[in-house]
Amino acid sequence: MPRHFTGIRLLLVFVAINTILFLMLVTSMTSAHPWLARILPGQFEGGVNSSGYWVFFSLVLLVNAVTVLLAGFAVVVPAMLEGIADEDRLGRLLTDRGGISEDAKESCLSVVREEAASARQQVSIGRWILIAGAVFLVLAFAAVTHNFLRALPQDAMFAGPSGPVPNAGIATAAIWHYTFDQIAGALLLGAPEIYHWHVGDLANNVANIPYTNFVLAFRIALLIVVLAILATLGRSVRLGGAKPPRQATKPNENAH
């Protein structure tokens, strides 16, 4: 599928999702009783500054992060699965096969170079989309955590050394410290928990099942994305740089 067509489809999906989310926000704010209050925690009576709407905004950021990551995989996976012929091996096969002129051989190798350059460009574009999606995912994780804390001040999403900690007593800096701990735990395969390398003192409250599952999903998703980014780097190295076309050897006109 052409890259520009894939890009247009991904852009249309992104616009459609955000249009639906915007309509959800508008219909809730213009109704006498905001219907988002039935499914989201927090207060909705104070307009966009209400804690409930900030929960909605953080979920919008999360949805957009997931959409960007899916777009990145949609760009990367086809290029990663597409097989590209090895130019050196193909050149040897064409050389060993008699009856093929140097011009015909160079035409075949030029097609291989163009395919490799196209695949390398598609992998590079997808890699940058995945990097952007990973950044959005981290910001969305911190935003969801922060806004749910403010919307549910009496609950306990976290636990400290002495037990569960009420949400109202957790500062914003502690949320960022916890976010960094989760990033390190995902990328280092749980080594920080084993060796007690922590930036902050908070841990998720295992009694809060929804948030615990959210943390687990975040760590799994971030690890998958980072592994995909590393795989694209390896694929780009394998594809290598575009080789200059070889000049066909001309016969020596002075030879008799």
Does residue 256 lie within any of the structural domains?
Answer: no
Tokens describing residue 231: 């795989």
Does residue 248 lie within any of the structural domains?
Answer: no
Following DSSP, what letter does each residue of 4-30 receive, concatenated?
Answer: HHHHHHHHHHHHHHHHHHHHHHHHHHH
Confidence of residue 182 (pLDDT cuts 50, 70, 90): very high
Tell me, what's the pLDDT at 23?
95
Tell me, what's the pLDDT at 120?
83
pLDDT single digits (tens) 203-243: 999 999 999 999 999 999 999 999 999 999 988 777 665 44
Tell me, what's the pLDDT at 238?
73
Residue 134 has pLDDT above 90, yes or no: yes
Does residue 36 lie within any of the structural domains?
Answer: yes
Tell me, what's the pLDDT at 233?
92
How far apart (Å, rounded) are the C-alpha atoms in residues 195 and 102? 62
Q: Which residues contact 132 (CB under 8 A, 6 or more apart)?
A: 68, 72
Q: Domain range spanning residue 48? A: 3-90+100-239
Does residue 254 lie within any of the structural domains?
Answer: no
Residue at 9: amino acid letter: R
Give the predicted TM-score (pTM) of the model: 0.82
- Is residue 54 within 8 A of residue 206, CB to CB? The reply is no
Residue 107 has pLDDT above 70, yes or no: no
Tell me, what's the pLDDT at 81?
81
Residue 248 has pLDDT above 60, yes or no: no
Following DSSP, what letter does each residue of 81-149 receive, concatenated?
Answer: HS----HHHHHHHHHHSTT--HHHHHHHHHHHHHHHHHHHHHHHHHHHHHHHHHHHHHHHHHHHHHHHH
Maximum mean pLDDT: which of 76-80, 98-102, 220-224: 220-224
Tell me, what's the pLDDT at 160?
87
Instruction: State in Å, rounded, how far the first CA of the chain is from the last one.
Output: 53
- Mean pLDDT throughout 127-147? 96
Q: What is the mean pLDDT of the chain?
A: 84
Tally the domains of the chain. 1
Does residue 224 lie within any of the structural domains?
Answer: yes
Residue 198 has pLDDT above 60, yes or no: yes
Tell me, what's the pLDDT at 86?
56
Q: Which residues contact 235 (CB under 8 A, 6 or more apart)?
A: 79, 80, 123
- Mean pLDDT throughout 32-51? 87
Tell me, what's the pLDDT at 82?
72
**Longest distance between any two alpha carbons in the chain, whole Å:** 99
Query: Lowest-confidence range among 29-43, 81-95, 179-193?
Result: 81-95
Confidence of residue 11 (pLDDT cuts 50, 70, 90): confident
Residue 146 has pLDDT above 90, yes or no: yes
- Mean pLDDT throughout 158-181? 93
Does residue 49 lie within any of the structural domains?
Answer: yes
Long-range residue pairs from 157-160, CB within 8 A, at least 24 positions apart, any chain: 157/204, 157/205, 157/208, 157/211, 158/202, 158/203, 158/204, 158/205, 159/202, 159/203, 159/204, 159/205, 159/206, 160/201, 160/202, 160/203
Tell me, what's the pLDDT at 218?
97
Does residue 179 lie within any of the structural domains?
Answer: yes
Tell me, what's the pLDDT at 92?
57
Does residue 245 lie within any of the structural domains?
Answer: no
